[in-house]
Chain A
Amino acid sequence: MLSRRATNTYLKSEEFLMKSFMKCYADPYCQQTNQDGMVNLGTAINQLCEDIISEKLNETGIFEHQPSWQHYFGLNGTPDFLQTLADFLTRKFTNDEDPISKENIRVVNGVSSSLEALAWSLCDPGDIILTALPTYSRFFADMQERVEAKVIGVHLSDEDDFELRPELFEQEILLRKEKGEVVRGILLCNPHNPLGKVYSRDLVMEFIDLCTKYDLHLLVDEVYALSVFDSTPFTSILSIPREEIPNPNLIHFLWGLSKDFGLAGFRTGVIHTYNKDLLKSLDGMSIFTSLPAHIQQVSVKLLGDQRWIDDVYIPTNHARLRESLQLVKTMLGDLNLRFIRPSAGLFCWIDFSAYLKKSTKEEEIAMFERLFEKGKVYIVPGTEFGCIKPGWFRIIFTVNPDVLKEGLRRIKEILISST
């Protein structure tokens, strides 16, 4: 009845993160009204600053309508929004050192949509994009489902705390080339999901060098860039001066409002590239990836309010992120679980393997199911993120503290009862 591709992609199975989110959404935990509901510590949503964001977005005059916005205006970025973004990215991502031009920015309806658009533009079906594992699993969905790029994971080892090593990528590139396969690019997630790591400038340069050497595109997903809550310096790809990049046409930056501002509901993704052909391709498909002018103009007001961002939002968000992480450490501390210390993001990556009967994927999934069905708490099992070693889980800590406590309590209960 449907096309083969639709049948194989969407009828035969359901993407894990979306499916789990929907299940939790159908039966959400509420301290007052639904104590048996699902506690969702699996979907990466930042609820910690809902109050501040609400206040900002309910300010008088934040939303308006102008006649020109009725029509086909700013499909891939209104002039105001592109300029605001140029200024914002220059200020917050390059420390005002490298002026970003609005000519090289495009806006699309979400970062998932951005990944899909880039994959379609850079890859023909079957062309390979490499990414480190464990990884945010929707990279596979976003670049493979409709546009049929092939995402290949490069395993990081839990023995060195999942250190990101460019040489592992080089090995994979050479292996694929030998097989006659086409590797088109590398997708780097920095800050990293799910590890919460922030990569050094040197490491970012190493990836630029690697991509230059093999003429590969470097896609850098920086959706958590402004959610670095310790003192680790963050090096955006945008802060590498153009002159230091041998082939700037290969470097593509992604960001959006979904994580750093907790505004997934705005469906706003931002792409920066120097590559004129890529910009042209994005323009050509802009009607499929378009964003309403009205939302863009609200975002102009939000991102344009430097004082609010620098003095209110970001410091508060960072403080609350630290507090929430501390809560996780406190409540799970006595279980002596190994975990990767996150510097950024909304989550931590924790090793439950000591509580698995056997160190196998099956046991990890069984643990996930116990947590989900019996414990009524959702956290993402490492298998879904392609982790080579069974037992790792990602816990989102950016929910209301009471909900977090309840979730952690449930996790603890299940873990202890597993022994």
Chain B
Amino acid sequence: MLSVRATETYVKSEEFLMRYLSACDQDPYCQLLNQDGMVNLGTAVNVLCKDIIFEKLNQPGLFRYHAELQSYYGLTGTKELRETLAGFLTRYFSKGIEIQPTNLRVVNGVSSGLEALGWCLCDPGDVVIVPVPTYGRFYADLEERVQATVVNVNLTGENDFDLNLDVLKEEMEKWILKGKNVRALILCNPHNPLGQVFSRETVKSVLELCAEYNVHIIADEIYAMSVHGEEATFNSVLSFYEEEVPSSRHIHFLWGMSKDFGLAGLRTGFIHSFNKDVLKALDGMSFFTSVSSHIQQICVELLRDELWLDNVYFPANRTRLKEAFNLVKAAFDKLNIRMVPGCAGLFCWLDLSRFLDEQSTSSEMELFQRFFEEGKVYIVPGTEFACSEPGWFRIVFTVERTVLVEGLNRINKILEEIEKMNTLEITAL
């Protein structure tokens, strides 16, 4: 009835993150009205500044309709938004290097941007490399309709899943030997799910390695403005001069409104590329990735208000991220649960392996199910993020404080029960 590809991709199965978001949305926890509901600490949404965003978006005159907005003129990004965005990126991302509006494109979400770039760079079966653990939807975005093959490069928990360039290089060579086209590498910085930022040297090394192998970099920097660690410095790919890197034509930057502004609802993502062919291809497909010109106008209002950004929004967001992160860290430190030192993003990455029956994927999924069904709390199991070591979980902390506390209590309860059982077993031996 449907095509084979649609049947295999969407009828026979459902992507994990979407499925569980949906499930939580059917029965959401509410302290007052639905105490038995699901606590969602799995979907990466930032509600911490919803009051500030609410005030901003309900400003009178924010949505001003004029006839020009009616037609097809913003398909690849309105001139106003590209100019405003260029200014914004120059100010906050590129450490002063002038970003050109002509190298920017607007698409309907970063997922859509990833899909579009994947289609431009890869023919079906071409290889995209991603260090894992990684955000689980990279597979969906690059494989579902694009049909690239995303391959994992395993990082190890022993050294906090540090990015190992030798391992990356080995993997590229392995696939090239197999006769495959290694077309791109995904660099997620700040990293999801680790919550870390890469040093400038590391970013540069990755750019150099990729250039050497003629591999494009898809730099997903969606959490760039969500760095909460005091000591942490974020290095965008945009902060390297074209002359500093071996091949600027290989670097494609993604960002959007979804995480740093908690405005996934605006469905707006941005691509920057120096590569004229990529830009031309994106233009060609812009009917499929277009954003309403009205929404673009709203983004202009948000991104150009430097006073609001510098004095209200960013400071508040950073402070609240830090507070929430500290709360979670304290909770898990108390339980002696190891966390990869996080300094950015909306989540932290925890090692719950000692609570597994056995060190296996199925055991980890059992623990996930137990959290979900029994505990009514949703956190993402590392398997879904292609982690090669069982037992890691991602916890999102950017929910309402009461919800976070409830969620942590529910997790704690399950862990305590397991600990008690383990103790009993040991005693029984």
Chain A residue with the shortest CB-CB distance to B146? A146
Contact B5–A124 (Cβ < 8 Å) = yes
A3 interfacial by beta-carbon distance below 8 Å: yes
B contact residues around A184 at 8 Å (CB):
3
* Chain A CB within 8 A of B288 CB: yes
The residue that A263 contacts in the complex, of B70, B119, B126, with Cβ under 8 A, is B70
Size range of the chain B interface in the assembly: 35 or more
Q: Is the CB of A5 closer than 8 A to any CB of chain B?
A: yes
Question: Which of B193-201, B258-266, B306-314, B368-376 contacts its partner?
Answer: B258-266
**A329 CB to nearest B CB, Å:** 26
CB proximity of B242 to chain A, nearest CB, Å: 16
Known: A1-B277, A6-B121, A53-B70. 6 other contacts (CB 8 A): A6-B120, A71-B262, A121-B3, A123-B3, A127-B3, A277-B1
Residues of B within 8 A of A25 (CB): 73
Name, among B21, B70, B280, the residue most crowded by chain A CB atoms within 10 Å (CB to CB).
Answer: B70
For B289, list chain A residues within 8 Å (CB): 109
Kindly supply a per-residue 1/0 record for chain B positions 299-336, scoring 1 wherever the CB is within 8 Å of any chain A CB and 0 otherwise. Answer: 00000000000000000000000000000000000000
Closest chain B residue to A286 by CB distance? B18
Asked if A265 meets B14 with Cβ closer than 8 Å, knowing A70-B47, A71-B265, the reply is: no
B288 touches A112 (CB 8 A): yes
- Nearest residue in B to A59 (C-beta to C-beta)? B65
A63 CB contact (under 8 Å) in B43, B62, B278: B62
Please give the residue numbers on chain A whose beta carbons come within 8 Å of chain B beta carbons, in ascending order. 1-7, 9-11, 14-15, 18, 21, 25, 43, 45, 47, 50, 53-54, 57-58, 62-65, 67, 69-73, 75, 109-110, 112-113, 116, 120-124, 127, 138, 141-142, 145-147, 184, 249, 262-268, 275, 277-278, 280-281, 283-285, 287-295, 298
Q: How far is the CA of A50 from the CA of B123 in the complex (A)?
A: 43
The answer on a CB contact under 8 Å between B287 and A112 is yes
Among all A-B residue pairs, the 9 with the closest Cβ atoms:
A284-B10, A10-B284, A63-B63, A65-B57, A57-B65, A112-B287, A10-B281, A50-B67, A121-B6
CA distance A174 to B281 in the complex (A): 37
Question: B residues within 8 A CB of A45?
Answer: 70-72
Q: Which of A3, A278, A284 contacts B119 (CB 8 A)?
A: A3
Instruction: Determine how close the nearest CB of chain B comes to the CB of A147; give it in whole angstroms.
Output: 8
Q: Which residue of A lies closest to B49 (CB)?
A: A70
Establish whether residues A122 and B2, one from each chain, have CB atoms under 8 Å apart when the complex forms: yes
Closest CB-CB distance, A231 to chain B, in whole Å?
Answer: 28
**B285/A294 in contact, CB under 8 A:** no
Distance between B402 CB and nearest chain A CB, rounded to angstroms: 15
* Total of A-B residue pairs, C-beta within 8 Å: 229
Contact partners of B263 in chain A: CB under 8 A:
70
List, sorted by A's number, 6 A–B pairs whose CB atoms are closer than 8 Å.
Answer: A5-B119, A18-B75, A70-B263, A71-B262, A124-B5, A285-B145
Q: Are B50 and A2 in contact (CB under 8 A)?
A: no
Contact A266-B54, Cβ < 8 Å, known A113-B287, A281-B6: no
Q: Residue B295 at the A interface, CB < 8 A? A: yes
How far, in angstroms, from A351 to B9 measured CA to CA in the complex? 47
* Residue B291 at the chain A interface, CB threshold 8 Å: yes
Q: Which of A120, A123, A278, A292 has the most CB of B within 10 A?
A: A292
Give B51-99 interface residues, CB cut-off 8 Å to A: 53-54, 57-58, 62-67, 69-75
The answer to whether B3 touches A65, judged by C-beta atoms less than 8 angstroms apart, is: no
Contact indicator B6/A122 (Cβ below 8 Å): yes
- Which of these, B64, B285, B292, contacts A292 with CB under 8 Å? B292
Which B-chain residue is minimally distant from A21 (CB atoms)? B72
Q: Mark B247-279, 1 if CB is under 8 A from A, else 0.
A: 001000000000000111111100000010110
